[in-house]
């Protein structure tokens, strides 16, 4: 399965990395990839919760921060974490599109 997934440092999960069009893979390969993706996908909510904890910690720091530059840095870090969460939700929903193609 390593050939079909590549670890993404930013997201903290492996994501699909195909070397050809999805429809060019055999049905057996598609099913195997989908099974593996379901395992990865199942960990996404936990990864999101972890990032939300980081956001909450940074927001707590921000609420007491008096240094403007440090406040801007914290805001930027919070925005980046929120962006990662958004991307993780997009990947979480990706399965629906792929599985619909398999069943067609």
* Domain that residue 9 falls in: 5-101
**pLDDT tens for the 104 residues of the chain, in order:** 568 999 999 999 999 999 999 899 999 999 999 899 999 999 999 999 999 999 999 999 999 999 999 999 999 999 999 999 999 999 998 865 555 554 44
Predicted local distance difference test score (pLDDT) of residue 59 = 98
Task: Quote the number of domains for the chain.
Answer: 1
- In the block, tokens 């870090």 appear at 77
Concatenate the DSSP letters of all residues of 18-62 into one string. -SS-GGGS-HHHHHHHHHHHHHHHHHHHHHHHHHHHHHHHHHHHH
CB neighbours (10 Å) of residue 61? 14
Predicted local distance difference test score (pLDDT) of residue 104 = 46
């Amino acid at each position: 399965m390593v050939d079909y997934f590549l670890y993404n440092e930013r997201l903290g999960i492996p994501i699909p990395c195909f070397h050809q069009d999805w429809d060019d893979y055999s049905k057996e390969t598609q099913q195997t990839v989908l099974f593996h993706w379901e395992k990865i996908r199942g960990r996404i909510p936990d990864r999101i919760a972890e990032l939300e904890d980081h956001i909450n910690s940074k927001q707590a720091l921000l609420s007491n921060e008096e240094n403007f530059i440090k406040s801007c840095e914290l805001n930027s870090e919070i925005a980046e974490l929120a962006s990662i969460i958004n991307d993780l939700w997009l990947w979480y929903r990706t399965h629906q599109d792929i599985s619909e193609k398999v069943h067609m």
